């Protein structure tokens, strides 16, 4: 069976030769589809026929058996399987996970997916999936429609709640992309709302990718993104969402440099998924790369 893997994942496994400033700590896999995803998200190259790309990263196809042979001896601490909309996608996702487990791959796994039936979530869990990723992406229902998300915002929210019932509190990680067209206030409110539901948030910055309808949109303001990282860090540390939102509105949140690290499932660092290594850096993939101080 063919799947895709990020070029950084393949490099760690010795299947590609590239220069790496930071090594991925998670093995990132993507379902194979020669035509990409059937959804029409206007920021995503998978929806624009550029099926070898996801954000600014190349994802070559590779035989699953090759990965299954090499993953057990690797230093990866997690597997992240990302789905695409295509016929039978969740059945294939289950087949991929089962094949890895049968081959002796015991690394904890996450699955990032669009809404699927509860029984599928339970089967994911039984195959060693500990965390569920949900690509909400947009901070408001109106923005979700505007950027072409395949399901209404309310359906993603229903799915988040279903995932929490299956995997437990803070084991559903909602993906939010900063810079799609929301206001800072809307994004901050979405962050606090999601934490109030009991989920976690993985922050992404919008990345203009050639060939997508949003390729000419500007990269988001780094200082605004830092404010969102600071708020997310406070919320993830256990702050009350209403109190955190009020502190953010008053400009009274101070976060350590660690708030600038990549957020997501445990051991997810996504090296340079959203940025060029030359900068500006939105999500730092390794503590050793953090600046000594945040520039004003």
Low-confidence ranges of the chain (pLDDT < 50): 295-296
pLDDT of 293 reads: 62
* Torsion, CA 186, CA 192, CA 197, CA 199, rounded to 10: 100
Q: Which residue has the tokens 């995997």?
A: 167
The DSSP output letter for 284 is: B
State residue 84's pLDDT score. 96
Tens of pLDDT, residue by residue over 102-130, are 999 999 999 999 999 999 999 999 999 99
What integer pLDDT is reported at residue 283 of this predicted model? 98
So where are the chain's domains?
A: 2-286
70 backbone dihedrals φ, ψ, rounded to 5°: -95, -25
Q: What pLDDT does residue 35 have?
A: 86
- Write the secondary structure of 64-120 as one string of H (helix), E (strand) and C (coil): HHHHHHHHHHCCCCEEEEECCCCCCHHHHHHHHHHHHHHCCCCCCEEEEECCCCHHH
Contacts of 49 (CB under 8 A, 6+ apart): 35, 36, 211
Give 45-62 pLDDT, tens digit per residue. 998 776 788 999 999 999
CATH topology of domain 2-286: TIM Barrel (3.20.20)
Question: What end-to-end distance do the CA atoms of the chain give, in Å?
Answer: 49
pLDDT of residue 296: 40
């Amino acid at each position: 069976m063919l799947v895709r893997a990020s070029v950084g994942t393949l490099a760690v496994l010795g299947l590609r030769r590239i220069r790496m400033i930071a090594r991925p700590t998670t093995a990132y896999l993507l379902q194979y589809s020669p035509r990409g995803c059937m959804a029409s998200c206007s920021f995503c190259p998978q929806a624009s026929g550029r099926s070898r790309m996801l954000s600014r990263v190349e994802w070559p196809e590779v035989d699953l058996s090759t990965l299954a042979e090499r993953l057990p001896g690797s230093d990866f601490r997690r597997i992240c399987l990302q789905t695409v909309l295509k016929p039978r996608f969740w059945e294939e996702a289950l087949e991929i996970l089962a094949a890895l487990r049968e081959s002796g791959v015991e690394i904890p796994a996450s699955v990032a997916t669009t809404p699927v039936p509860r029984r599928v979530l339970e089967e994911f869990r039984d195959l060693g999936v500990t965390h569920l990723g949900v690509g909400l992406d947009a901070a408001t229902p109106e923005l979700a429609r505007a950027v072409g998300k395949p399901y209404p915002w309310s359906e993603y929210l229903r799915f988040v709640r279903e995932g929490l019932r299956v995997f437990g509190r803070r084991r559903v990680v909602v993906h939010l992309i900063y810079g799609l067209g929301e206001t800072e206030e809307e994004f901050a409110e979405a962050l606090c709302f999601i934490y109030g539901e009991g989920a976690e948030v993985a922050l992404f910055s919008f990345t203009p990718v050639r060939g997508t309808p949003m390729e000419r949109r500007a990269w988001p303001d780094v200082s605004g993104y830092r404010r969102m990282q600071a708020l997310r860090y406070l919320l993830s540390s256990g702050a009350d969402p209403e109190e955190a939102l009020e502190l953010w509105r008053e400009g009274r949140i101070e976060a350590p440099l660690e708030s600038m690290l990549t957020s997501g499932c445990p051991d997810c660092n996504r090296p340079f998924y959203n940025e060029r290594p030359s900068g500006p850096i939105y999500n730092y993939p390794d503590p050793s790369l953090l600046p000594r101080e945040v520039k004003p």
